[in-house]
Amino acid sequence: MQSGLRKDYVTEETFLLENGERDMEEWKRYFYDGFTDEELLNMVFDDELEYEPGTKYQYSNVGYNLLAMIIEKTTGQSYAEYVHENIFDVCGMEHTSSMKTGDVTSVPEFVPDKNAPDENPYEYVDTLYMQLIKPERGVGDIHSCAYDLLLFDRALTGGKLINESSLAEMFNIDMGYGCGWMSGSKPYDDLYYHGGETWVYKAYNMYCPTQKYGNIYLIQLHPSVACDDLNNECLMNVAMALNS
């Protein structure tokens, strides 16, 4: 998150024609997973870095995209095979998959954000949930559920996935971000969390070590627009009550 890489492969200008209109065929090719790894990488590497690495924090999905590719290069496995063998199977996550389509049990209808009421993604995709695979590898490629996420959290913080020194480094927060975890500011600085979303779902995972109850895990899944205004406040209040 301090690399200088942009946030996502695509930007507002990625598929614009010279006349300013969107190239719908290229846009659809991207969202229907038609781009090669080389094309995706060129989208990023043809640009200048957005800032000098290490001087600034800026969330970058591309950083995790590249990590997934590095896993494939160094292990000789596909990313999906690697996370299944080394994470899902180890944790007993039987209802979780990676890099798949058609395995979801619920797909809510798209509801436009109040800040973008005219947004209509159906103009370039037929269904909204998980058409693109390669551009989401390492970022938003996993289907799971609250129970499996709890198994993951317990395994991670319990030393089942990584050793104690690696776990400490994961929670070594710099500029508000560690390795996959953000931290709250006072009075929430003992809370670690991360969230993510697609057009139709949001996920929120929070870890809160407490003296009274031990490790507390708060996991929330909901449609993208529903309860947005109350989501963070609710989770923070629960965590503070447990830690008081």
For residue 205, tell me if it sits in a domain: yes
Nearest 5°: phi and psi at 190? -95, 10
For residue 95, tell me if it sits in a domain: yes
For residue 202, tell me if it sits in a domain: yes
State the pTM of this model.
0.87
Q: Print burial letters for 117-155: b (CB count within 10 Å at least 16), e (below 16).
A: eeeeeeebeeebbbbbbbbbbbbbbbbbbeebbbbbbeb
Q: Which DSSP helix (H) or strand (E) runs through 229?
A: helix 228-243
pLDDT in tens, 115-127: 888 878 777 777 7
The pLDDT assigned to 76 comes to 97
Q: 69: closest CA among 61, 78, 60?
A: 78
Neighbours of 216 (CB within 10 A): 17
Question: What's the domain range around 34?
Answer: 1-144
Question: What's the total number of domains in the chain?
Answer: 2
Which token pair is 207? 């870890």
Residues 7, 127 share a domain: yes
Q: Which DSSP helix (H) or strand (E) runs through 63?
A: helix 61-75
Residues 137, 181 share a domain: no
Kind of pairing, strands 97-98 and 192-197?
A: unpaired
Q: 7: closest CA among 37, 31, 39, 43?
A: 43
Nearest 5°: phi and psi at 238? -65, -45
Residues 6, 59 share a domain: yes
Residues 134, 23 share a domain: yes
Residues 87, 23 share a domain: yes
Which one of 124, 144, 164 terminates a domain?
144
pLDDT in tens, 147-172: 999 999 999 999 999 999 999 999 99
Residues 55, 98 share a domain: yes
Residue 114's CATH number: 3.40.710.10
For residue 136, tell me if it sits in a domain: yes
Q: In angstroms, rounded to a whole number, what is the distance separating the alpha carbons of residues 180 and 163?
A: 16
Torsion sign (Cα): 185, 186, 190, 193: negative
Residues 179, 136 share a domain: no
- In this prediction, the residues of the chain whose per-residue pLDDT falls under 70 are 129-131, 185-188, 224-232, 235-236, 239-240, 243-244
